[in-house]
Structure 1
């Protein structure tokens, strides 16, 4: 039996980057082999097929995202200020010349005609929303925290998609402040 001789996490990151940039449908397995440097047998033995590799890559990306959000919120002076910093960081990212939105959001939009994969992506996004809701629930109660988390996700989707249209950091920051007026934006340095 063939022995896997690669770092699984590294392959997941490389594959996630490829699917993220090119899209699930446009990514061929030949591109995966080339991008990861792996032979077809190694990829198929370790992951099964393109869909399974995509799901595991997306899951890996989502897990890292959730860990980053949780760590940022835990380290912030308050949950609300942490949310401001996260959203402000997304706006700053959107101004980069090589901006590529968010792997989860792009996949959600791309896979509208693939119900199984879209449901999988939706579940990852739902977990992020639940993370925000859980972080806010102590202060706002469960129902209000869920509503605020939903509003945060609406704004995240807006940032991730609108960035391709506008690119105006100032306009997006003003829109965030207007749409999420309950957050302590005045505590940010700009």
Structure 2
């Protein structure tokens, strides 16, 4: 008779996500995962299949959480400039508080970009950010907050690229002055 699972899959994915985020894919061993999740190898393989599959599920979870946060800020902040500034500032502050952590999507692109499943997830995550930003910029343009000459999709692509870059710069510990100067320049793209 099969044993019933004695752990919460979602909690396990969250804990694995945190471990991968802190240590990276390559530096996280199967033994590290088993210890972090407090499960045996049989339970691990039955639930997740492999380290690779758990990594992808962890990355999917991260993208879902980050995407929900981005969408919420863009929807709840009435004007586009404060919304974009809030999004970018929160990322800068997170990187200043813990520069070793960075962004799991950026970390994955750098570490696992040659793995098709990881590369697909990174691409999907970046497109999701672009889509949320483009939608918010289109709404802002319809309300007259940004010039009709601006192309919301191009602005969204610029901001998406800026977001990825600011996360890399945060990991390089360039400091507040550097990132705030860059933020000021990025905000002028909306003028």
Question: Which category of TM-score, normalised to the shorter sequence, fits these structures?
Answer: 0.7 to 0.9
> What does residue 146 of structure 2 align with?
none
Moved over 6 A (4+): none
SS of residue matched to 2:113? helix
Partners in 2 of 1:154 and 1:30 — Cα distance? 36
- Measured on the aligned residues, the alpha-carbon RMSD in Å equals 1.9
- Identify the residue that residue 179 of structure 2 maps to in structure 1: 172
Q: Is the 8 A contact 2:159 2:186 kept in 1?
A: no
Distance 2:78 2:135 in 1: 17
What CA distance in whole angstroms lies between the structure 1 residues aligned with 2:57 and 2:171?
Answer: 27
- With normalisation by structure 1, the TM-score equals 0.87
1:117-147 CA distance string (max 9 Å, x none): 2222221222122111122223348x92211
Total equivalences in the alignment: 183
> Quick check: 1:102–1:160 contact (8 Å CA) kept in 2?
yes
Pick which of 64-73 and 166-175 moved more: 166-175
- Asked whether 1:152 is paired with 2:134, we answer no
Unaligned runs of 5+ in 1: 185-190
Give the 5 Å matches for 1:41-190.
Answer: 41-97=42-98, 99-140=100-141, 144-183=151-190
Is there any run of 5+ residues in structure 2 with no aligned partner, and where?
143-149
TM-score, reference length from structure 2: 0.87
Would the aligned equivalents of 1:81 and 1:183 in 2 still touch at CA under 8 Å?
Answer: no
